Amino acid sequence: MRKTRFALASLLAAVVMALVATPAAAQASTTSELINQLNGKLLYVAIPITVLVEVILLYTVIKFRNSERALPTKENRRLEITWTIATAIILLFVGVASYGVLANEDVTYQGNEIDAAEDPVVVTAEAYQWGWNMYYPEEGNFTTGNEIVIPKDRPVYFQVTATDVIHGFHVPELALKQDAMPGSTNTIRTVANEEGTYQGYCTEYCGVAHSQMYFTVEVVSEEEYQNWLDEQQSSE
Ligand code: CUA
């Protein structure tokens, strides 16, 4: 029974390692941080399982390569209990880890209310065939065409909508993705951590110029953002 105990122990060790490990790499937004960390944790569990299964498979293929016919294994209750418990532990871990991320407001934002207490930036992203109009409804509703400018380290809400057909709002590096639907508004929330310019795409096929529906998200310092706002408002 040493083998089954060893297998159970290594699986448990993998789960514990995944719980403790937090990749320290800087992420562009709170959303991408949450998603990439979950991805890393699940990988810590998936890799040992893959290795274990492949090793058992190869061992079996080599050991029984000369067998004439398959023989049933003797019942081994301890082995069955072991793999049932091990699977339950792994699935429980995957469930708990995923739920913590999926339920986070920066991954799946629920509802359309905006919490004014956190002093957020609100951007309305309105898609049309074929382009974007980005509005700043809290700042006089000026529009910047297909360009978004947001300050870093401050919550940003994107209210995603469309005027004609279904489009998709997607900024891969900030891990933002939401459907743009005519007649309704889907809100997503994030906090950008790093200054820079990020490319945005339409990710729902919407006609001949779908592939040209680009936009940019520029993340700047709070001070630069205020200057930019003043400029936009005075040129209105
Ligand atoms: Cu808009 Cu594709």
Q: Which atom of ligand 1 is nearest to the CA of 180?
A: 1
Is 207 found in the same domain as 128? yes
Nearest ligand 1 atom to alpha carbon 165: 1
180 lines ligand 1 (CB under 6 A): no
Asked if residue 160 has its Cβ within 6 Å of ligand 1, the reply is no
Residue nearest to atom 1 of ligand 1 (CA): 167
N- to C-terminal Cα distance for the chain?
A: 77
Averaged over 136-162, what is the pLDDT? 92
Q: What is the mean pLDDT of residues 20-48?
A: 83
Same domain, yes or no, for 133 and 185? yes
Distance CA 214, CA 227 (A): 25
Report pLDDT for 116. 75
pLDDT confidence of residue 73: 79
Q: Which of 76, 102, 128 is the last residue of a domain?
A: 102
Strand partners, 127: 132, 162
Confidence category of residue 17, pLDDT binned at 50, 70, 90 = low
Question: Do 227 and 134 belong to one domain?
Answer: yes
Mean pLDDT, rounded, for 138-153 = 91
- 61-117 per-position pLDDT tens digit: 999 888 888 778 788 899 999 999 999 999 999 999 999 899 888 888 877 677 777
**167 ligand 1 Cβ < 6 A:** yes
Q: Whole-prediction pTM value?
A: 0.78
Atom of ligand 1 at shortest range from CA of 207: 2
If asked whether residues 95 and 203 sit together in one domain, one would say: no
**124 CA → ligand 1 middle, Å:** 16
**117: its two tokens:** 């207490």
Residues 223, 127 share a domain: yes
Residue 133 scores a pLDDT above 90: yes
Q: What is the model's pLDDT at position 236?
A: 62
Q: Which domain holds residue 64?
A: 2-102
Q: How far does the centroid of ligand 1 lie from the alpha carbon of residue 201, in Å?
A: 8
pLDDT at 199: 96
Query: DSSP letters of 82-109?
Result: HHHHHHHHHHHHHHHHHHHHHTSTTTS-
Task: Evaluate whether 162 touches 124 at the Cβ level (below 8 Å).
Answer: no
Any atom of ligand 1 within 6 Å of the Cβ of 126: no
Is 2 a residue whose pLDDT tops 80? no
Q: What's residue 226's pLDDT?
A: 93
Tokens of 114: 């905006």
What is the total residue count of the chain? 236
- Distance, in Å, from the CA atom of 90 to the CA atom of 93, rounded to the nearest integer, reads 5
Q: Is residue 113 part of a domain?
A: no
What is the Cα–Cα distance from 121 to 155, expressed in whole angstroms? 6
Contacts of 187 (CB under 8 A, 6+ apart): 109, 111, 112, 114, 157, 158, 159, 160
Q: What is the CATH number of the domain that holds 149?
A: 2.60.40.420
CA dihedral in degrees (134, 146, 127, 111; nearest 10)?
Answer: -40
How is the beta sheet containing 121-128 ordered, strand by strand? 142-143, 131-136, 121-128, 155-162, 186-191
Model pLDDT, residue 3: 61
For the chain, the domain total comes to: 2
Residue 43 in domain: yes
Whether the per-residue pLDDT at 7 is higher than 70: the answer is no
**CA–CA separation, 31 vs 61, rounded Å?**
44
HSE value, Cβ hemisphere, 13 Å, CA-based, for 197: 5
What pLDDT, in 10s, does the model give residues 187-223?
999 999 999 999 999 999 999 999 999 999 999 999 9
* Ligand 1 contact, 128 CB (< 6 A): no
Question: Rounded to whole angstroms, how far apart are CA atoms 5 and 74?
Answer: 18
